[in-house]
């Protein structure tokens, strides 16, 4: 139950912050629970970064609701009959926000150098590229080592944003000063980042799409608590609430508000699963029995129904049940069974000691300002205590979470990961031995390594037929669920809410990651 006094207090505090910006007629006010670690889109490709930078950086292709590719920065594209050569013809009228022309050099640099180095999804997908050739300033040819059935899907904006070669080439990507003042080709350009308050994006007056963007700018405002965010949305102080902004406790209340539009399809392209990652390098997390006991100790149906208020379903696989290649028949499932959890811990030699405690460890929380992730972790802590596991919840902000997880400085963490259209793009990155990369967040942070899994992911990615790919992915799901390679909790269905006077806020399954160039204010 929300405390009335805290809600009223929030109502007084937030609008003063909201109207600190110039009062322009066509401005969107959006929210963020915490500030991002960076505004370099590929470097820390979390949802928050995608939601902001989707307006700044664009991709070669856009995808419709059926995941069919369409031209974007590439005005046209073609594939050779053998599936090895892709040619992209770029628009000649696109320029970066600093006035430099967007050319084939930028595509070759983005896909051949920067993205494979710093973006965990791109690293695996683009490893299939043999060469990238700029035939001229506006023609780029990709030659693959072998047919890769997810290649076009890997060019979705949330996986392959184009980056300016003239800004990043020859620099330390992680230390480049433009990481906090990004330059893109998108409908909005970076204007200001006032730490602790807001990030302001301004209208790109030289945008290549006629008539876009439909607004003068966007303010992403720090709004730390769920109560503040709810009141800000209901009072109209904020126009837009994305994925984790609104606590699931009040989703139905928001959806019933006649001034607010609720969208359940804005993140269809993500295919998202809430997970916990265990650092296999640290005992006892590397023991399969401990990971199985962990899952048996948690009532995941309660997480879905009691914590997430029915938005989603229990996850039993690394591939969402709504996505291609999911195979329920091969899965090892871990029902809620505390007695079985205790038996597995006993089998390992983790006997109860003083106070009935078998083992102590930390759970690093994803920043959500006290929302559903925090409540879920609080429940998990209680459930683990019932089987003798003492967990300490460790609050973080996004920069700290990025540093600690990327450097393997954790026992256990909470996060939410997406498949992004194909397991070769969004799933394999968490289990491939080649993607164990210290210092790089959102990779194989756990240190899970299995040669057969490596081989099967490679074979699935280059399979010629759907049936061949399915056979590989079915075997992968069989192995990974038996190994409890990750703690899959539940499949999420994030919501997006916006003021009814806003139109065209979501135009495809990639949602906010494709930007708000088409959006207008009625």
pLDDT at 129: 96
- Contact between 457 and 475 (Cβ < 8 Å): no
Buried b / exposed e across 141-154, counting CB within 10 Å, b at 16+? bbebeebbbbbbbb
Q: Is the Cβ–Cβ distance between 194 and 214 less than 8 Å?
A: no
Instruction: Please give the DSSP secondary-structure letter assigned to residue 44.
Output: T
Assigned CATH for 61-168: 3.90.76.10
Q: Which residues pair with 221 in a beta bridge?
A: 31, 198
Average pLDDT estimate for 175-204: 97
pLDDT band, very low/low/confident/very high, at 13 (cuts 50, 70, 90): very low
Calpha distance 309→490 (Å, rounded): 12
Q: What distance in Å separates the CA atoms of residue 472 and residue 481, rounded to the nearest whole number?
A: 14
Q: pTM here?
A: 0.82
CATH 3.10.105.10 holds for 272-492: yes
Taking the C-alpha atoms of residue 24 and residue 219, their distance in angstroms, rounded to an integer, is: 11
pLDDT at 316: 97
Q: What is the pLDDT of residue 309?
A: 86
**Average pLDDT value for residue range 476-481:** 98
> Where exactly does CATH 3.40.190.10 map onto the chain?
4-56+186-268+495-521
pLDDT tens sequence across 367-399? 776 678 889 999 999 999 999 999 999 998 878
CATH code for residues 4-56+186-268+495-521: 3.40.190.10
Confidence of residue 242 (pLDDT cuts 50, 70, 90): very high
Average pLDDT for residues 450-473, to the nearest whole number? Answer: 95
User: What percent of the chain lies above the pLDDT cut of 90?
Assistant: 75
What's the pLDDT score for residue 369?
65
Q: What is the mean pLDDT of residues 465-472?
A: 94
Q: Is the pLDDT of residue 61 over 80?
A: yes
Residues 6+ apart with CB under 8 A from 95: 101, 102, 185, 206, 208
Q: Report the C-alpha gap between 125 and 148 in whole angstroms.
A: 8
Nearest to 41 by CA among 30, 28, 52: 52
pLDDT greater than 70 at residue 504: yes
- List pLDDT tens digits, range 91-144: 999 999 999 999 999 999 999 999 999 987 888 889 999 999 999 999 999 999
Average pLDDT taken over every residue of the chain: 91
Q: What is the mean pLDDT of residues 200-205?
A: 97
Query: Which segments of the chain belong to CATH 3.90.76.10?
Result: 61-168
Residue 249 to residue 513: CA distance in whole angstroms: 25
Across the range 155-176, mean pLDDT stands at: 95
What does the alpha-carbon distance between residue 415 and residue 426 come to, in Å, rounded to a whole number? 14
Q: Give per-residue burial for 375-395: e unless 16+ CB within 10 Å, then b.
A: bbbbbbeebbeebbbebeebe
Q: Which residue did the predictor score with more confidence, 239 or 522?
A: 239
């Amino acid at each position: 139950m929300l405390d009335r006094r805290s809600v009223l207090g929030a109502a007084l505090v937030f609008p003063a912050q909201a109207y600190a910006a110039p009062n322009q007629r066509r401005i969107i006010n959006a929210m963020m629970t915490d500030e991002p670690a960076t505004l370099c889109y590929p470097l820390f490709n979390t949802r928050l970064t995608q939601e902001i930078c989707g307006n700044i950086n664009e991709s070669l292709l856009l995808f419709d609701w059926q995941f069919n590719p369409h031209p974007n920065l590439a005005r046209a594209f073609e594939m050779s009959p053998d599936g090895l050569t892709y040619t992209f013809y770029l628009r000649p009228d696109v320029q970066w926000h600093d006035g430099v022309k967007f050319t084939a050099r930028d595509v070759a640099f983005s896909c051949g150098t920067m993205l494979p180095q710093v973006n965990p999804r791109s690293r695996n997908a683009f490893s299939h590229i043999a060469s990238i050739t700029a035939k001229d300033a506006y023609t780029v040819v990709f030659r693959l080592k072998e047919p890769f059935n997810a290649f076009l899907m890997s060019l979705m904006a949330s996986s392959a944003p184009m980056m300016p070669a003239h800004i990043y080439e020859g620099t330390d990507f992680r230390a480049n000063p433009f990481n906090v003042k990004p330059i893109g080709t998108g409908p909005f350009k970076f204007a200001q980042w006032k730490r602790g308050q807001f990030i302001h994006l301004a209208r790109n007056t030289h945008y290549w799409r006629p008539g876009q963007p439909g607004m003068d700018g966007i303010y992403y405002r720090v709004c730390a608590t769920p109560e503040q965010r709810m009141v800000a949305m209901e009072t109209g102080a904020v126009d837009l609430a994305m994925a984790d902004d609104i606590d699931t406790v009040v989703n139905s209340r928001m959806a019933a508000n006649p001034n607010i539009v609720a969208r359940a399809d804005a993140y269809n392209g993500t295919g998202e699963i809430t997970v916990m990652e265990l650092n296999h390098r640290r005992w006892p997390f590397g023991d399969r029995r401990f990971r199985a006991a962990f899952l048996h100790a948690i009532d995941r149906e309660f997480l879905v129904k009691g914590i997430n208020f029915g938005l989603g379903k229990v996850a039993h696989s690394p591939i969402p049940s709504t996505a291609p290649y999911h195979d329920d028949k091969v899965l090892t499932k871990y029902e809620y069974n505390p007695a079985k959890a205790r038996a597995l811990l006993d089998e390992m030699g983790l006997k109860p000691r003083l106070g009935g405690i078998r083992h102590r460890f930390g759970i690093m929380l994803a920043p959500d300002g006290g929302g559903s992730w925090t409540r879920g972790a609080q429940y998990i802590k209680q459930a683990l205590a019932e089987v003798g596991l003492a967990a300490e919840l460790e609050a973080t902000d996004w920069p700290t979470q990025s540093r600690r997880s990327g450097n393997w400085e954790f026992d256990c963490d909470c996060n939410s990961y997406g498949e992004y259209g194909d397991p070769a793009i969004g799933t394999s990155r968490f289990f491939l031995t080649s993607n164990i990369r210290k210092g790089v967040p959102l990779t194989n942070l756990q240190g899970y390594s299995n040669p057969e899994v490596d081989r099967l992911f490679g074979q699935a990615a280059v399979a010629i037929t759907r049936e061949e790919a399915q056979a590989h992915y079915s075997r992968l799901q069989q192995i990974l669920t038996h190994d409890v390679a990750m703690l899959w909790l539940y499949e999420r269905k994030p919501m997006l809410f916006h003021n009814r006077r806003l139109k065209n806020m979501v135009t495809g399954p990639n949602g906010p990651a494709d930007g708000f160039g088409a959006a207008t204010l009625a």
